[in-house]
Amino acid sequence: MSNYPDENGRFGSFGGRYVAETLMPPILALEAAYKQARKDPTFWAEFDNFAQHYVGRPSPLYFAERLTEYGKGAKIYLKREDLNHTGAHKINNVLGQLLLAKRMGKKRIIAETGAGQHGVATATMAARLGMDCIVFMGAVDIERQKPNVFRMKLLGAEVRSVTSGTSTLKDAMNDALRDWVTHAEETFYCIGTVAGPHPYPEMVRDFQSIIGREAKAQILKAENRLPDAVVACIGGGSNAMGIFHEFIDDKDVRLIGVEAAGRGVDTDEHAASLTGGAPGILHGNRTYLLQDEHGQINDAHSISAGLDYPGIGPEHSYLHEIGRAEYVSCTDTEAVDAFQLCTKLEGIIPALESAHAIPRTLDLAKELGEHGLIIMNMSGRGDKDVNTIASLMGVEI
Amino acid sequence: MTTRIDKTFARLKAADQSGFVAYIMGGDPSHSASLELMKALPDAGADIIELGMPFTDPAADGPVIELAGLRALKSDTTVRSVLDMAVAFREDNDSTPIILMGYANPIHHMGYAAFAASAKDAGVDGAIIVDLPPEEDGELRAAFEAHDLALIRLATPTTNDARLPTVVAGTKGFVYYVSVAGITGAAKGENAAISDAVERIRTASGLPVVVGFGIKTPEQSAQVATHADAVVVGSAIVDAFHKNGKDAALSLVKNLSRAAQVKRP
């Protein structure tokens, strides 16, 4: 089961390497470098050392007693990726990729970002490792995520405003690819999620799978058994792949991904690629995409900038197709309510992205009943979202 | 059967000169306006026409072609409507090759077999699909072979000797050499490097080599023509058409093609 992707980067019919010829030699070189690093204990020793002392791992697995009481059903545990350095799971992947960049002798790092969390994580690691960092960010996102833009600049990164297309995350990714094509020799492209051409979906999953490995050991220690279900929100799907991966072979553990339903999956304004999309080719991989009847990419919508992407990692498309994981969705309104609920009940301000997982976790808690056991990935913290919430509440801060 | 592409290169070879390939975006700014431009290209000196199929996310293109694509999409351009341009063009021209250029998703959505059959029916001669490298183009290549269409591959400055055989294997018609590692509309590559690469690719493929990316002026066109079997210009033509209209675009095509079509020394 865990033996995919195949040598061509395929997860069933998904994945692959759909890039311009100019990028084929660089991604083949990246693949070769990663293959070598992956079996080198010194690479992982350095990864683990940074993970422990810089990122702050292992992140706690926390019993959410008051959410559990509120849900009147299964026990709910939260995997606290929000407590990582820089405030989200994103740093796990960036740590792995930039250590690989260092190994490859690349000193110019580029990244795309939507909400700015991956951009901040990349700028942070680049500062720590003494590398140049350029972050591509849609002009629209720059406007709505000003604090993160400033953080990146403080960390020494250059933030490039992307005005092509719809000026959001997908366009930032287009521009990052354009930069990479132009400066392939000296540049390492640090993709922020389990998407893009092979080997990114596999590599990012491997770096994020530390979440699931820790969670499994922690739940066995706390409850002496595996959970009935693992729940995570999904944009590109890296936090979900990170926590799912270790449980894929445990057939009795349900894996549940929550997509952003925006204003509803029956409207034109959502970001639920699996629920409301169809297979297609974008940004280097074949996967489920939001697209029209002519194969043109539709704009995604979500209140959470981090989920505002018209695609999803190819491994999720595969897990969806073979029925190993279940994919459901959560609207903007539900997510905002859950944001406030979690803050009040647990004293944990969740990222708006992570808040999408809460309503479906509560539904499931009822369904499973009091003997049930759920782990929800709290993928990031919500400090970055307080402005959005305040303006929704009509409060000026 | 000798294809229009083969006939074109045979004619150029007999005349001992390079050819000129003009790129335009199908449907920019409207179906009728781009069709009118397309029909006038052969008389202005285009030996081959590259006809762009717009895509929302053209990650290998610079701003000029991206914006042209977005204008085309705004006027409801689809793969089908671009094919209809080829149909209309063939009403009074049966010799100038038409090569479609675009991205995988719209044709993947249509279905590769259906796309190949429709392209053949429309009088198209081949296609370049930018984000289908040799590793991923097997299915489309099989569909093209069934209809005797040329699936043209790109070689680039990063295509090293180890990789070149993979790129040229199974390519038909000609090889397109992207002369700069970059996006369309970038700065032009170095002459000496272009000359070396063209020679290398011609030897490896046994096919004509056309060179594009970064060529904007008649001087550059003439320089590249001393090495290449044909010179491709896209962004500069699209830009002239957008800013100054059909006559300006055609006059640029005239100057660029005359510069390219010089007798070889």
Q: Give me the CATH number covering residue B50.
A: 3.20.20.70
Q: What is the pLDDT of residue A139?
A: 93
Tell me the pLDDT tens digit for each residue of B201-220.
Answer: 999 999 999 999 999 999 99
| Residue A2 resides in a domain | no
User: Which of A204, A233, A268 corresponds to the end of one domain?
Assistant: A204
Q: What is the pLDDT of residue B263?
A: 72
- Give the whole-angstrom CA distance, residue A71 versus residue A191: 36
Helix axes A314-322, A200-208, angle to 10 degrees: 80
User: Which of A186, A204, A222 corresponds to the end of one domain?
Assistant: A204
Q: What is the pLDDT of residue A146?
A: 87
Neighbours of A219 (CB within 10 A): 22
| Residue A291 resides in a domain | yes
Q: Do A264 and A159 fall within a single domain?
A: no
| Residue B242 resides in a domain | yes
| Residue A255 resides in a domain | yes
In chain A, which residues have their Cβ closer than 8 Å to the Cβ of B183? 178, 181-182
In chain B, which residues have their Cβ closer than 8 Å to the Cβ of A23? 158
- What chain A residue is nearest to B80 in terms of C-alpha separation? A294
Is residue B113 within 8 A of residue B143, CB to CB? The reply is: yes
Q: Which helix (H) or strand (E) holds A362?
A: helix A357-368
Cβ–Cβ below 8 Å for B55 and A296: yes
Q: Do A141 and A252 fall within a single domain?
A: no
Domain residue limits at B206: 4-258
Q: Do A220 and A294 fall within a single domain?
A: yes
Structural domain count, chain B = 1
Length of chain A equals: 397
CB interface of A with B, residues 281-320, below 8 Å = 281-284, 286, 289, 291, 293-297
- Reply yes or no on whether B61 is catalytic: yes
Q: Do A184 and A240 fall within a single domain?
A: no
- Max CA distance (Å), chain B: 47
Q: Do A240 and A331 fall within a single domain?
A: yes
Q: Do A344 and A374 fall within a single domain?
A: yes
- Give the whole-angstrom CA distance, residue A133 versus residue A119: 9
Q: Do A271 and A372 fall within a single domain?
A: yes
Q: Do A33 and A112 fall within a single domain?
A: yes
Q: What is the pLDDT of residue A168?
A: 85
From first CA to last CA, the distance across chain A in angstroms is 50
Domain residue limits at A384: 56-87+209-392
Q: Do A215 and A162 fall within a single domain?
A: no
For tokens 């449980």, the residue is A247
The CATH number covering residue A24 comes to 3.40.50.1100
Q: Do A308 and A293 fall within a single domain?
A: yes
Q: Could you list the mean pLDDT of each consecutive 10-residue stretch along chain A, which spans 397 residues?
A: 86 97 94 98 98 98 98 98 97 98 97 94 98 96 89 98 89 94 93 98 98 98 98 97 98 98 94 96 98 96 89 98 98 98 98 97 98 98 92 89
Cβ–Cβ below 8 Å for A295 and B154: no
Catalytic residue among A90, A106, A170, A216: A90
Q: Do A259 and A325 fall within a single domain?
A: yes
Burial of B117 (0-12, 13-18, 19+ CB in 10 A): middle
Distances in Å between the Cα of A147 and the Cα atoms of A90, A314, A383, A384, B144 are: 17, 31, 10, 7, 51
| Residue A264 resides in a domain | yes
How close B160 comes to chain A (CA, Å)? 8
| Residue B144 resides in a domain | yes
- Give the whole-angstrom CA distance, residue A235 versus residue A311: 8
What are phi and psi for residue A376, nearest 5 degrees?
Answer: -110, 135
- What chain B residue is nearest to A289 in terms of C-alpha separation? B105
Catalytic residue among B47, B50, B137, B229: B50
| Residue B91 resides in a domain | yes
| Residue B263 resides in a domain | no
Return the DSSP state at A375: E
Q: What is the pLDDT of residue B1?
A: 60
| Residue B166 resides in a domain | yes
| Residue A46 resides in a domain | yes
User: Which of A204, A233, A249 corresponds to the end of one domain?
Assistant: A204
| Residue A223 resides in a domain | yes
Q: What is the pLDDT of residue A124?
A: 98
Q: What is the pLDDT of residue A200?
A: 98
- Pairing verdict, β B126-129 and B98-102: parallel
| Residue A284 resides in a domain | yes
The complex's ipTM? Answer: 0.95
Q: What is the pLDDT of residue B256?
A: 98
Structural domain count, chain A = 2
In chain B, which residues have their Cβ closer than 8 Å to the Cβ of A182? 181-183, 186
| Residue B264 resides in a domain | no
Q: Which of A18, A162, A185 to mutate to test the interface with B (most CBs of B within 10 A)?
A: A18
- Reply yes or no on whether A353 is catalytic: no
- Reply yes or no on whether B229 is catalytic: no
Q: Which of B67, B82, B83, B131 to mutate to test the interface with A (most CBs of A within 10 A)?
A: B131
In chain A, which residues have their Cβ closer than 8 Å to the Cβ of B104? 18, 281
| Residue A4 resides in a domain | no
Q: Do A76 and A125 fall within a single domain?
A: no
| Residue B192 resides in a domain | yes
Residue ranges of chain B whose pLDDT lies below 50: none
